[in-house]
Amino acid sequence: MDYFAQQLINGLVLGSIYGLIAIGYTMVYGIVGMINFAHGDIFMIGGFIALISFLVLVSLGLTAIPFILLVVLLVSMAITALYGWTVERIAYRPLRHSFRLAPMLSAIGMSFVLTNFSQIAQGARVKPVPPIITGGYTLHEGASGFNVQISNMQIIVVLVTIVLLTLFTWLVSRTRLGRDMRACEQDQTMAALLGVDVDRTISMTFVTGAALAAVAGMMYLLYYGQVDFFMGFVAGIKAFTAAVLGGIGSLPGAVLGGLAIGLIETFWSAYFSVEYKDVAAFSILIVVLIFMPTGLLGRPEVEKV
């Protein structure tokens, strides 16, 4: 039971990170109808920028950890958002009215560009960071010496996810930008006729998605204590799985799917085998698409001729 509770906590934390990435996929898919294949690499870039800005700030002589982390968060969100904007501008916008497969292939190309760019710019080796946020609480002391623990870092990851999700839900449902996004999602031509700047709205979708991915990247860096240039690929596929599982196009669905994938992966590693945890996650993607193509919270897609 204790072991189960511990895995539940670990799974929720991992799921929060996947959920943050999945939001970027689900929003872009909802509005543009394409899989932003490079989104996983945007997440990786976010992790790198958090790492580098942290190093620079520390070497400048700053010691107040909360202040540093706040600055790192803002810097990595801002720069990664610019990456998202640039990717959309260069690789997707010219293909808005092209044939179906073109944006997908362009996105795969962009994913290679980002992966190899960071490999060349920052080297192929794994970058470790010492634990920055330490300490935690023991929730339950088991009889056999196994304690259920929750670390401060895990609390922060979950809290940040909840705060960002609230902010983001507010953004989509209450602000002008959110209304534009929803309008574009329903019908781009009609939205344009009613005075919505479609290009700008799509750009902003990429920017906000990338900013959330940057937060996920930073959380990953702090939680796992390392980044490398290849981490975006697998994380990206899993987050996309989460988005599909939750029902693509649905924001709560993305987070729900993220949590589900995180839990499944953690429990699979804990009770079955660590080696096959990715196989389990990918198999779920296939199974979900067979039996529930619309996901948990998605709307059925009507095919028009």
The rounded distance, in Å, linking the Cα atoms of 230 and 226 is 12
- Toward another protein, which CB reaches closer, 6 or 111? 111
CB proximity list for 4: less than 8 A, separation 6 or greater: none
Interaction between residue 191 and another protein (CB under 8 A): no
Question: How many C-beta atoms lie closer than 10 Å to residue 54's C-beta?
Answer: 21
Per-residue b/e over 182-207, b at no fewer than 16 CB within 10 Å? bbbbeebeebeeeebebeebbbbbbb
Interaction between residue 121 and another protein (CB under 8 A): yes
DSSP secondary structure of 202-232? HHHHHHHHHHHHHHHHHHHHHHHSEE-TTHH
Interaction between residue 57 and another protein (CB under 8 A): no
Token couple for 160: 């940040």
Out of 12, 45, 239, 251, name the contact with another protein by CB under 8 A.
Answer: 45
CB of 194 to another protein, least distance (A): 17
Out of 8, 68, 104, 155, name the contact with another protein by CB under 8 A.
Answer: 104
CB of 107 to another protein, least distance (A): 9
Q: How many residues bind another protein (CB under 8 A)?
A: 80
Q: Which residues does residue 227 pair with via DSSP β-bridges, in sequence order?
A: 127
Tell me, residue by residue from 165 to 184, as one string, x for binding to another protein by CB under 8 A and - for no binding. --------------------
Out of 135, 193, 195, 275, name the contact with another protein by CB under 8 A.
Answer: 275
- Hunting for tokens 């623990």 — which residue is that? 149
Interaction between residue 245 and another protein (CB under 8 A): no
Select from 17, 79, 30, 12 the least CA-distant residue to 51.
79
Q: Is 225 exposed, middle or buried (0-12, 13-18, 19+ CB in 10 A)?
A: middle
The rounded distance, in Å, linking the Cα atoms of 235 and 18 is 7
Interaction between residue 33 and another protein (CB under 8 A): yes
Which region among 3-11, 14-22, 55-63, 205-213 touches another protein (by CB under 8 A)?
55-63
Interaction between residue 285 and another protein (CB under 8 A): yes
Tell me, residue by residue from 210 to 239, as one string, x for binding to another protein by CB under 8 A and - for no binding. -----------------------x---x--
Interaction between residue 74 and another protein (CB under 8 A): no
* DSSP-derived pairing of the beta strands 136-141 and 147-151: antiparallel
- Toward another protein, which CB reaches closer, 20 or 245? 245
Out of 62, 65, 105, 159, name the contact with another protein by CB under 8 A.
Answer: 105
CB proximity list for 85: less than 8 A, separation 6 or greater: 203, 206, 207, 210
Out of 22, 110, 213, 239, name the contact with another protein by CB under 8 A.
Answer: 110
Contact positions with another protein (CB under 8 A) in 78-97: 79, 82-83, 86, 89-91, 93-97
Interaction between residue 161 and another protein (CB under 8 A): no
CB 141 within 8 A of CB 135: no
